Amino acid sequence: MELLPRLSSRDSALWVKRDDQTSLRYGGNKVRKLERLLSEAKRRGVARIVTIGAVGSHHVLATGVYARPLGIEVEAVLVPQPRTPHVVMNLRADLAQGVKVLPATSFAHAGVRVASRLGRDAYFIPVGGSNRLGALGYVDAARELAAQVRAGQMPEPDLVVVTLGSGGTAAGLAAGLLEEMQTVVLGVTVSDPAWVVEHMGRSLAHACLKHATHREGRAAKVEPRLEWDRRYLGRGYGQATPEGERAMAVAAESGLTLDPTYTAKTFAAALDRVAAGKHKTILYWHTLSSAPFEPLLIDAPEEAAIGPELAKLFR
């Protein structure tokens, strides 16, 4: 964690959890989920992973980066999203990692394509790596934070601000922190329909909690410790907002690089909470990889060479 002194106020200190540094090859939040998910795929001895995402998915790219060295092929069913240079780069990097891309026109169509690829030799990972096992990677992260707080590396946060994309990250954090501290987790909704992802977040948090408290046999209540804010979504998933763009500029001055789809909207919410001054210690959880991208583009096709079928994935 790091304190951001220039962005803190007298009433609220703003800290950042640097999950952009979870790995030197490719960091961000997907690494913690894949730690659990890929161990399971390995334990099952599968030859393939079948997964799904939008064309710029960090989850698909991270799966490509980390599954290949384990000798597991990755097949990704991808759906369209608005075209940005970052999204184009992610698809090129997917192809460079040897990810087999199966284009779909919508998430409904994607379901059909996924179903046609499942089989005994395949392990299915849902959108964003957000099933219970993936979210448990963020229960691990919550315990790590609690240990760091106990070690005196930062005060106990009153509020953790984190992106709510497919829900696994916020869910695992809320479930994990419930046992350890008084912290409230605020999920900033960046995908739509908002009520669907918020529902996913809540049910994943319940699933994590049930798993974590299984042996004690008691059911703690996660609701008061997991909140949403959908006011930063703008026109929808992958659509930049003015608040997000302002937050990106502010973060850059403190040495943090944000992306318009996830972290810019979330950081905008964190800055507003600091301005409101109701929480003494606010922790912004930074989920975007900051590892150098060029190595992931070695062997990547140029954009002009990706073909008309895949080019349709850019809206």
Point out which residues bind ligand PLP (CB under 6 A): 28-29, 58-59, 128, 130, 163-170, 262-263, 287-288
Smallest distance from ligand PLP to CB 307, Å: 25
**Chain residue whose CB lies nearest ligand PLP:** 165
Smallest distance from ligand PLP to CB 308, Å: 27
Please say which residue, 93 or 116, places its beta carbon nearer to ligand PLP. 93
Please say which residue, 18 or 280, places its beta carbon nearer to ligand PLP. 18
Smallest distance from ligand PLP to CB 163, Å: 4
Structure tokens at 299: 């062997």
Contacts of 178 (CB under 8 A, 6+ apart): 209, 220, 222, 225
Smallest distance from ligand PLP to CB 287, Å: 3
Residue with tokens 């040897």, as numbered in its chain: 98
Please say which residue, 63 or 166, places its beta carbon nearer to ligand PLP. 166
Per residue in 10-49, is it b (16+ CB within 10 Å) or e — as a string?
eebbbbbbebbebbeebbbbbbbbbbbbbeebeeeebebb
- Please report which helix (H) or strand (E) contains residue 179, including its range: helix 168-180
Smallest distance from ligand PLP to CB 43, Å: 23
Please say which residue, 281 or 287, places its beta carbon nearer to ligand PLP. 287
Give Cα separations from 303 to 56, 291, 300, 308 (angstroms): 14, 22, 9, 10
Residue with tokens 């999920």, as numbered in its chain: 187
Closest C-alpha among 277, 212, 225, 269 to residue 243? 269
Instruction: Answer whether 60's CB lies under 8 Å from 53's CB.
Output: yes
Please say which residue, 163 or 280, places its beta carbon nearer to ligand PLP. 163
d(CA 266, CA 186): 10
Partners of residue 227 on adjacent β-strands: 186
Please say which residue, 208 or 288, places its beta carbon nearer to ligand PLP. 288
Smallest distance from ligand PLP to CB 133, Å: 13
Please say which residue, 103 or 167, places its beta carbon nearer to ligand PLP. 167
Instruction: Answer whether 77's CB lies under 8 Å from 50's CB.
Output: yes
Residue with tokens 């803190």, as numbered in its chain: 8
d(CA 301, CA 315): 20
Smallest distance from ligand PLP to CB 50, Å: 18
Please say which residue, 123 or 228, places its beta carbon nearer to ligand PLP. 228
Identify the sign of the CA torsion 144, 138, 212, 280: positive
Smallest distance from ligand PLP to CB 135, Å: 8
